[in-house]
C-alpha cells in the first residue's frame, strides 16, 4: 500500500453501485446464513480526531468519556433532560460537503510514515475493503431496509476496494432545506451525547463522592426549591468535531479495514481491545407498536 494514499487514489475514477428502495429483484431470505460465513472480533489499529475545521488530528483529543452519573443525576433532580436546550448556539455543518475518504487516507498516510511496523503489519493482512462503518452498515442492512436507497462509489487500488458514500446534490438539498422541527430532532441526539459524556475520565472514587454531593444538593433543593441548583451552563453543542477509531476485521475470507466514529469510552481507554469499552449513545422515540419495535431492533 502506498505511503502517499491521498494523492495516489483518484476518487474520480470510480464505479458506482446503487440500491433503490422497493428493489426486490434479489431473493430476500434474511433467516438463511451461508454455512461458511464467519466474522472475527474487530481489532483497533489506530485512532484519530477531527477538529472544528474538520482537519485530521492524529491524537485522541476529541475522545469523550461516558458520564456514568447521567441516570442518577436525572432521578436526583426529579426532572428530565431538556434536549432542545442551547439549540440556537449549535455548531454544525449547515451545508454538507463530500469529504470522500480523505480523513481515513490522511490518517493512514500519517501512520505509515510515523508508526513503526504499521506498514508491515498492514501488508501482512492486506485489506480487501477500506470504508467507513456507515457504508458497511448500509450494505448489511439492505435486506431489512427495502424502503431506503443508497449510492456508493468504489475504487480499486492495488487490489483493495475503497468504498465511499455518494453524496448527491439531492442529499445536500435535503439537509439544507430541513425545517426547524427536523433540525431540532437532529440536535436532540447531539445534546443527549453532551449530557452523557465528559472531557476527562471519572475515577470510581470521584463517582462515589459525586453521588454524595448530589444527595446533599437534592436535600437543599427540597428545603429551598426556589433556589437555582448552580449547574453551570454547558458549552455549545459542536457536532463538527469527532473522534474515530480504525479497526481491522475479517468477514469470511475478506480482510476489512474500517473507520468508525465513536461517542465515548467507558472509563479509561484500555491498551488491549479498547473498542470493547466504546459506548454509543442513542435517542429513540417511544415504542408504541410492533412496527416501532421492529425499527428499534433493526
Measured distance CA(43)–CA(249) in Å, rounded: 7
Element (H, E) at 190: helix 180-195
Q: Please provide the average confidence, as pLDDT, over all residues in the chain.
A: 83
First to last CA, the chain: 36
Whether 31 has a pLDDT exceeding 60, the answer reads: no
For 259-282, how does the pLDDT look when each residue is reduced to its tens digit (9 = 90+)? 999 999 999 999 888 989 999 998
Q: Residue range 86-115: average pLDDT?
A: 95
Measured distance CA(35)–CA(7) in Å, rounded: 41
For 184-218, how does the pLDDT look when each residue is reduced to its tens digit (9 = 90+)? 999 999 999 999 999 998 765 555 555 555 555 54
In the chain, pLDDT over 90 holds for what percent of residues?
53
Position with higher pLDDT, 158 vs 205: 158
In b/e form, how buried is each residue of 46-68, taking b as 16+ CB within 10 angstroms?
bbbbbeeeeebebeeebbbbbbb
* Separation in Å, CA 29 to CA 68, 87, 155, 234, 298: 40, 43, 29, 48, 16
Sheet of strand 197-198: strand arrangement:
197-198, 65-66, 264-265, 278-279
Measured distance CA(14)–CA(153) in Å, rounded: 6
In the chain, pLDDT over 70 holds for what percent of residues?
77
For 55-89, how does the pLDDT look when each residue is reduced to its tens digit (9 = 90+)? 999 999 999 999 988 866 555 555 578 999 999 99
Of the listed ranges 38-47, 72-81, 109-118, 176-185, the least confidently predicted one is 72-81
Interhelix angle for 70-77 vs 204-223, to 10°? 10
Q: Residue range 143-165: average pLDDT?
A: 89
Element (H, E) at 223: helix 204-223
For 215-264, how does the pLDDT look when each residue is reduced to its tens digit (9 = 90+)? 555 455 444 444 345 557 789 999 999 999 999 999 999 999 999 999 99
pLDDT (0 to 100) of residue 3? 40
**How many beta carbons lie within 10 A of that of residue 235, not counting itself?**
11
Amino acid at each position: 500500500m502506498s505511503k502517499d494514499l491521498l494523492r495516489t487514489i483518484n476518487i474520480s475514477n470510480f464505479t458506482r453501485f446503487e440500491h433503490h428502495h422497493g428493489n426486490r429483484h434479489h431473493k430476500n431470505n434474511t433467516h438463511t446464513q451461508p454455512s461458511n460465513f464467519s466474522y472475527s472480533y474487530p481489532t483497533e489499529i489506530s485512532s484519530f480526531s477531527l477538529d472544528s475545521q474538520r482537519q485530521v488530528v492524529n491524537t485522541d483529543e476529541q475522545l469523550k468519556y461516558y458520564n456514568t452519573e447521567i441516570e442518577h443525576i436525572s432521578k436526583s433532580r426529579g426532572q428530565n433532560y431538556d434536549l432542545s436546550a442551547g439549540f440556537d448556539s449549535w455548531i454544525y455543518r449547515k451545508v454538507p460537503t463530500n469529504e470522500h475518504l480523505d480523513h481515513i487516507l490522511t490518517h493512514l498516510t500519517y501512520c505509515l510514515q510515523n508508526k513503526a511496523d504499521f506498514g508491515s503489519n498492514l501488508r501482512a493482512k492486506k485489506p480487501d475493503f477500506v470504508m467507513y462503518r456507515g457504508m458497511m452498515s448500509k450494505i448489511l442492512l439492505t435486506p431489512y431496509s427495502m424502503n431506503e436507497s443508497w449510492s456508493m462509489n468504489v475504487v480499486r487500488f492495488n487490489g483493495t476496494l475503497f468504498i465511499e458514500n455518494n453524496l448527491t446534490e439531492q442529499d445536500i438539498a435535503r439537509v439544507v432545506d430541513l425545517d426547524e422541527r427536523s433540525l431540532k430532532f437532529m440536535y436532540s441526539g447531539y445534546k443527549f451525547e453532551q449530557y452523557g459524556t465528559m472531557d476527562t475520565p471519572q475515577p470510581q472514587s470521584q463517582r462515589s463522592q459525586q453521588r454524595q454531593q448530589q444527595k446533599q444538593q437534592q436535600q437543599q433543593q427540597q428545603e429551598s426549591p426556589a433556589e437555582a441548583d448552580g449547574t453551570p451552563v454547558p458549552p455549545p453543542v459542536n457536532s463538527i468535531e469527532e473522534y474515530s477509531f480504525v479497526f481491522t476485521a475479517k468477514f469470511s475470507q475478506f480482510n476489512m479495514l474500517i473507520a468508525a466514529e465513536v461517542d465515548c469510552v467507558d472509563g479509561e481507554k484500555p491498551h488491549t481491545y479498547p473498542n470493547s469499552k466504546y459506548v454509543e449513545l442513542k435517542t429513540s422515540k417511544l415504542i408504541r407498536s410492533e412496527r416501532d419495535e421492529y425499527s428499534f431492533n433493526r
